[in-house]
Structure 1
């Protein structure tokens, strides 16, 4: 039985492969990557997005947008207006967000940033892909035939009971939606 890595190795070492350079460049640039779904302050245009793209915490690449295949309550809580996705599958809304491929270094940083596993827990869930950014067909992950991609997601089982009385959102965007409480940056606390 062949693994994906062994198959790619054969392709990479096959002479005269017209797309060999693209695959080699992608493997060298990204290596082992994990798909992560973000729905809060790590999305584009939000205050912590720079961690995913500036390269100081590891490598990350935007791949597309989607929403959870299950409903979850997305609330904004605490005095700093932090978005929390409560681990209550079947309650709330299908939540919109963005899909990134991240290397192990960035995934480890995200675990620390999200205080995983104490505050948030990282789980694998299905994301229904709405837009996929792989025009040159170089990504090593793809949605399945039904448009579903398995991604890591940070949500929480450690929430306060009164959070269940807060409004549930399907999309976190306090910049584009003035009705949502604005997040307070860590530096401003």
Structure 2
């Protein structure tokens, strides 16, 4: 590997001991590396570029590059939506409180927001994480990703989420989550078709 150095005649100063002093700009001005030499120094070799056409992007209103993309995007957006909804719910609860003092009223509002917001956000985030994980597993087992996977994933995560509350609560949660997943799937298909 050869590094091309351009030694320009630059004025250097000497210190009290007679040594040449050089600043960083003098040193960097003398080194001339092209992109191939930088890749060789870093041990990268030839750089391969990702071709998105070969990745199998799922078409739709919200294009997806795979299970991990759905897991991260779905969990994050659902958590934030739940946190926002819970925060608004807590805010309205706190504003309804009948406290005469401003500080007590502010404290009541903050307590309500911090009680409802994180609870709803965490619950929604757990449901979304489980839903997307189960959806990916079912999709890889069946070999295709369709609306059946979505409804089955919703039903399973609803049953798992409320499984400790009894069979009636687990069945109700399963039905609600399956209906929500089916509605979400139909809404995505409708939006993509009429886009």
Bin for the TM-score computed over the shorter chain: under 0.3
> TM-score scaled to structure 2, two decimals?
0.23
Greater Cα radius of gyration, structure 1 or 2: 2
Task: Indicate the structure with greater helix content.
Answer: 2
Which of the pair is proportionally richer in strand? 1
Q: TM-score under structure 1 normalisation?
A: 0.24
- Higher RCO (CA 8 Å, separation ≥ 6 residues): 1
